[in-house]
Amino acid sequence: MITLAIQKKGRLASASMELLNDCGIHLHNTGSDKLKTAAVNFPVELLFLRDDDIPRYVEDGIADIGIVGDNVVLESGAGIERILPLGFGKCRMSLALPKYVDYNGIHDLDGKRIATSYDHILKKFLKAKGIRAEIHKISGSVEITPGIDMADAIFDIVSTGSTLISNGLKEVETILESEASVYAHRELSDEKKATINDLCFRIQSVNTAKDHKYILLNVPNEKLETVCRILPGMKSPTIMPLGEAGWSSVHSVIQEDRFWELIQQLKEAGAESLLVTDIEKMIL
């Protein structure tokens, strides 16, 4: 049995629960006020926590693993191991200034007041760059501080950038990229490691499937070679003869992020009747 800590409420909470569900892990229904719950069909118990508490719970071994943003783990300084990035909760941590202030490089921040909730990450970064600045740690609404003359700059999480824009700020330096990841306690029994490997295998199969599409297309035999050269596939594509003489059906798997580009190329190469479907699980 392993204990997995996930965020109770917030940006990572529903994606974490959805991921477990996609992995075929079903939970005992314990209502919305739950602090912990066990799965009915997998040896895992879930702890629902504030995201800031997750690194410490994993470091102390109260939870064996946790799903939490890389930014939160770095800020906590917890000695835990990142075992699997998950591809959701993506964001960056950046320095931003009022948009009318000139910016020529990091040394412009020397002697300035910077507001942030992430003072450890910022301190480390400024030290490495040899910048002396006054760090003002505040717990929320960092983006309003330059407007009320509490700070000259901010260091905060950015996703679309619209919060910065609506507060009259511009992003000037990205210090780190972050996403939700699985982190593990440093010393685990072999039995727990095996269960965690099983869980990570399921997660990878689900996430790889999300990044790919299954496609079927009809191709005149004389164009097969050109079409197959365009298709990356997992190995080579499957080719089957169609009922109509001189035509074949080609099946393959393509990456979601190259989808539109490849479809266009395939059409130009003579493919017809393209059918595209989602893949539920994919094991490489």
> Is position 91 an interface residue for ligand PRT (rule: CB under 6 A)?
yes
Beta bridge partners of 169: 98
Among 51, 70, 75, 152, binds Zn ion (CB under 5 A): 51
Q: Report the nearest approach of ligand PRT to the CB of residue 277 (Å).
A: 30
> Is position 137 an interface residue for ligand PRT (rule: CB under 6 A)?
no
Comparing CB distances to ligand PRT, the nearer of 176 and 228 is 176
Pick what 82 binds: ligand PRT, Zn ion, none; C-beta below 5 to 8 Å, kind-dependent: none
Pick what 163 binds: Zn ion, ligand PRT, none; C-beta below 5 to 8 Å, kind-dependent: ligand PRT
Q: Report the nearest approach of ligand PRT to the CB of residue 102 (Å).
A: 23
Pick what 178 binds: ligand PRT, Zn ion, none; C-beta below 5 to 8 Å, kind-dependent: ligand PRT
Gap between the Cα atoms of 227 and 60, Å rounded: 55
Q: Report the nearest approach of ligand PRT to the CB of residue 91 (Å).
A: 4
Q: What are phi and psi of 77, to 5 degrees?
A: 70, 15
Q: Report the nearest approach of Zn ion to the CB of residue 68 (Å).
A: 9
Among 43, 87, 98, 161, binds ligand PRT (CB under 6 A): 161
Gap between the Cα atoms of 77 and 120, Å rounded: 8
Contacts of ligand PRT in 35-54 (CB under 6 A) = 50-52
Comparing CB distances to ligand PRT, the nearer of 72 and 209 is 72
Comparing CB distances to Zn ion, the nearer of 51 and 152 is 51
Amino acid, single-letter form, for residue 104: N
Q: Report the nearest approach of Zn ion to the CB of residue 52 (Å).
A: 4
Among 13, 34, 36, 52, binds Zn ion (CB under 5 A): 52
Max CA pair span of the chain = 77
> Is position 119 an interface residue for ligand PRT (rule: CB under 6 A)?
no
Q: Report the nearest approach of Zn ion to the CB of residue 117 (Å).
A: 9
Comparing CB distances to ligand PRT, the nearer of 121 and 206 is 121
